Amino acid sequence: MAGVGRRAFLAMLALIGAGRTLWAQGRQRLRYRPLTRPVLVPLASLATPGRARRFVAQGVSPPSAAIPGERMRINGMVARVAAGDDADCFKAVCVVCPHEQCDVDFVADPGELDPSVVEEIGEVSDPVYLCPCHNSTFTMAGGERLGGPAPRGLYLFRVTGVTGTHVEIGEVEEDVLLFF
Ligand code: FES
């Protein structure tokens, strides 16, 4: 009987692992669409990990949208998440909260988070995005949801390149252009 219980426990762990893998793959398979023109953010404003900067991008709604071909302004924020000059060292998110569309704030010092937020998400050492409306929180390093009522992580932009002087943001998650 103990053997059956152990096998069931191991099977459950395997299922959880498979679920996590599928979720991660799902994030990687997000569909992106090009912005009308790339946004260029000065590299000097993102000199060290944890620094972030707002930007405004413009996209066009895809053919499958209710109103295809519509130009849309999208507010975003790009953060340096690691040292180096590869595109992977920067992550850009749409600042509109997926819960009820308030704009999220970038909290550079997680020590400033309200204790009730910390109680829900646990201690964090990296900056986070915090929605001021209902306290949904998201990671800086990819916009994943940490807590609160948001049904998913933040919508993403894709950093498409880094030059000697600028970070280039060239694509946005297609769902932004479909649902906003
Ligand atoms: S609108 Fe952001 S948590 Fe509700």
pLDDT tens across 71-122, in order? Answer: 999 999 999 999 999 999 999 999 999 999 999 999 999 999 999 999 999 9
Helix (H, G, I), strand (E, B) or coil at 46: helix
Q: From ligand 1's centre to the CA of 151, what distance in Å? A: 10
pLDDT the model gives residue 6: 59
**Atom number in ligand 1 closest to CA 102:** 1
**Helix (H, G, I), strand (E, B), or coil: what is residue 116?**
helix
Output the CA–CA distances (angstroms, integers) from residue 21 to 8, 17, 18, 53, 160, in the order listed.
Answer: 20, 6, 5, 31, 25
Q: What is the dihedral of CA 48, 43, 101, 147, to 10 degrees?
A: -20
Integer Cα distance of 12 and 119 in angstroms: 28
Q: Where are the domains of the chain?
A: 1-30, 32-179
Query: Which residues contact ligand 1 via a Cβ below 6 A?
Result: 97, 99-100, 102, 131, 133-134, 136, 148-150
At residue 4, the pLDDT reads 54
How many angstroms is it from 130 CA to the middle of ligand 1?
9
Q: What is the mean pLDDT of residues 121-127?
A: 96
The alpha carbon of 8 and the centre of ligand 1 are apart by a number of angstroms equal to: 38
Longest CA pairwise span in the chain (Å) = 65
Q: Whose CA is nearest to atom 3 of ligand 1?
A: 134
pLDDT > 70 in the chain, percent: 84
Q: Which fold has domain 32-179?
A: Rieske Iron-sulfur Protein (2.102.10)
Element of type H or E holding 117 = helix 115-121
Please return the burial class of 178, using the count of CB atoms within 10 Å of its CB with bins 0-12, 13-18 and 19+. middle
**Residue 121 phi, psi (nearest 5):** -95, -10
Residue 90, CA distances (Å) to 13, 143, 170 in order = 33, 12, 13
Atom of ligand 1 nearest to the CA of 148: 3
The band of 179, judged by pLDDT with boundaries at 50, 70 and 90, is confident
Give buried/exposed letters for 101-112 (b at 16+ CB in 10 A, else e).
eeebebbeebee
Overall pTM surpassing 0.85 (yes/no): no
Count the alpha carbons within 13 Å of 39 in the hemisphere toward its beta carbon: 23
119 CA from centroid of ligand 1 (Å): 18
